[in-house]
Structure 1
Amino acid sequence: MTNDQHGLAMTGAGAAAARHYDRAIDELLHFRVEVDAEANAALAESPDFAMGNVLSAYLGLLTTEVEDARTARVRFGAFRRRIDEPALLPRERAHVAAVQALLDGDFLTCGALLGEITVAHPRDALALAAGHQIDFFTGDARSLRDRIGGALTAWREDDRHFGHMLGMYAFGLEEAGHYDRSEEVGLRAVELNPRDVWGIHAVVHTYEMQGRFGDGVRYLDARTRDWSTGTFFNIHNWWHYTLYALESGDVPRALAIYDSVLADGQSSMELLDAAALLWRLLLEGSDQPELDERWRALADAWPLRVAEPFYAFNDMHAVMSYVGAGRIGDAEKLIATREAYVLEPHPGITNRDMTLHVGLPVCRAIVAFGRADYESVVDLLYPIRHRINEFGGSHAQRDAVQKTLLEAALRAGRRDVARVLVSERINVRPCSPYNWLKQATLADTLGNRAAATAARLQADELARNGGRAY
Structure 2
Amino acid sequence: MRQDEHGLTLSSASDAAVRRYDRAVHELLRFRAEVDGEARAALAEDPDFPMGNVLAAYLGLLTTEPADAREARERFAAFRSRVSGRALPPRERAHLRAVRALLDGDFLTCGTLLGQITEEHPRDALALAVGHQIDFFTGDARALRDRVGGALSAWHEDDRHYGLLLGMYAFGLEEAGHYDRSEEVGLRAVELDPEDVWGIHAVAHTYEMQGRFGDGVRYLDDRLDDWSAGTFLNVHTWWHYCLFALEAGATGKVLGVYDAVLAGGETAMEILDAAALLWRLLLEDSDQTERWKALADAWAPKMEEPFYAFNDMHAVMSYVGADRIAEAERLIASRERYVADGRGGGVTNVAMTARVGLPVCRALVAFGRRDYHGVVDLLYPIRHRINEFGGSHAQRDVVQKTLVEAAIRSGRREARVLVSERINVRPCSPFNWLKQSALADDLGARAAARLQAERLVRQAALPFS
TM > 0.5:
yes
Distance in 2 of aligned mates of 1:409 and 1:112: 39
Kindly provide the amino acid, as one letter, of the partner of residue 410 in structure 1. Answer: I
Kindly provide the amino acid, as one letter, of the partner of residue 335 in structure 2. Answer: R
Number of residue pairs the alignment of both structures matches: 461
Where in structure 2 are the equivalents of 1:77-88 lying within 5 Å? 77-88=77-88
Deviation by residue 1:400-440 (Cα, 9 ceiling, x = unmatched): 000000000000010x2000000000000000000000000
Q: Does 1:328 align with 2:325?
A: yes
TM-score normalised according to structure 2 size: 0.98
Distance in 2 of aligned mates of 1:239 and 1:203: 14
Distance in 1 of aligned mates of 2:61 and 2:200: 24
CA contact (8 A) 1:433 1:467 kept: no
Secondary structure, counterpart of 1:302 in structure 2: helix
Match of 1:351 in 2: 349
Deviation by residue 1:251-307 (Cα, 9 ceiling, x = unmatched): 000000000000021100100100000000000111x1xx11100000000111111
Where in structure 2 are the equivalents of 1:302-451 lying within 5 Å? 302-346=299-343, 347-414=345-412, 416-443=413-440, 446=441, 448-451=442-445
Secondary structure, counterpart of 2:263 in structure 1: helix
CA contact (8 A) 1:64 1:310 kept: yes
CA contact (8 A) 1:13 1:49 kept: yes
Kindly provide the amino acid, as one letter, of the partner of residue 30 in structure 1. Answer: R
4+ aligned runs moved over 2 Å, structure 1: none
CA contact (8 A) 1:432 1:467 kept: no
Kindly provide the amino acid, as one letter, of the partner of residue 124 in structure 2. Answer: D
Q: Does 1:106 align with 2:100?
A: no
Q: CA deviation at 1:84?
A: 2.1
Secondary structure, counterpart of 2:157 in structure 1: coil
Q: Does 1:156 align with 2:176?
A: no
Match of 2:174 in 1: 174
CA contact (8 A) 1:331 1:367 kept: yes
Kindly provide the amino acid, as one letter, of the partner of residue 371 in structure 2. Answer: D
Where in structure 2 are the equivalents of 1:29-68 lying within 5 Å? 29-68=29-68
Describe the shift of the 1:467–1:80 C-alpha distance in structure 2 as closer, same or farther (beyond 3 A): farther
Bigger mean CA offset, 376-385 vs 78-87 = 78-87
Distance in 1 of aligned mates of 2:84 and 2:373: 59
Q: CA deviation at 1:464?
A: 1.3
Q: 2:451 aligns with which of 457, 463, 470?
A: 457
Kindly provide the amino acid, as one letter, of the partner of residue 63 in structure 2. Answer: T
CA contact (8 A) 1:186 1:200 kept: yes
Match of 2:223 in 1: 223
Distance in 2 of aligned mates of 1:205 and 1:194: 17
Deviation by residue 1:226-247 (Cα, 9 ceiling, x = unmatched): 0012212100000000000000
> C-alpha root-mean-square deviation of aligned residues, in Å?
0.9
Q: CA deviation at 1:13?
A: 4.1
Deviation by residue 1:189-227 (Cα, 9 ceiling, x = unmatched): 000000000000000000000000110000000101000
Distance in 2 of aligned mates of 1:248 and 1:235: 20
CA contact (8 A) 1:212 1:467 kept: no
CA contact (8 A) 1:431 1:467 kept: no
CA contact (8 A) 2:12 2:18 kept: no
TM-score normalised according to structure 1 size: 0.97
Kindly provide the amino acid, as one letter, of the partner of residue 348 in structure 2. Answer: T
Deviation by residue 1:311-362 (Cα, 9 ceiling, x = unmatched): 0000000000000000000000000000111111341100000000000000
Distance in 1 of aligned mates of 2:118 and 2:229: 31
Kindly provide the amino acid, as one letter, of the partner of residue 308 in structure 1. Answer: E
Bigger mean CA offset, 337-346 vs 145-154 = 337-346
Kindly provide the amino acid, as one letter, of the partner of residue 373 in structure 1. Answer: D
Mark the runs of 5 or more structure 2 residues left unpaired by the alignment: none
Mark the runs of 5 or more structure 1 residues left unpaired by the alignment: none
Match of 1:134 in 2: 134
Q: CA deviation at 1:449?
A: 1.1
Match of 2:4 in 1: 4
Secondary structure, counterpart of 1:264 in structure 2: coil
Secondary structure, counterpart of 2:323 in structure 1: coil
Kindly provide the amino acid, as one letter, of the partner of residue 191 in structure 2. Answer: E
Q: CA deviation at 1:467?
A: 9.3
CA contact (8 A) 2:174 2:202 kept: yes
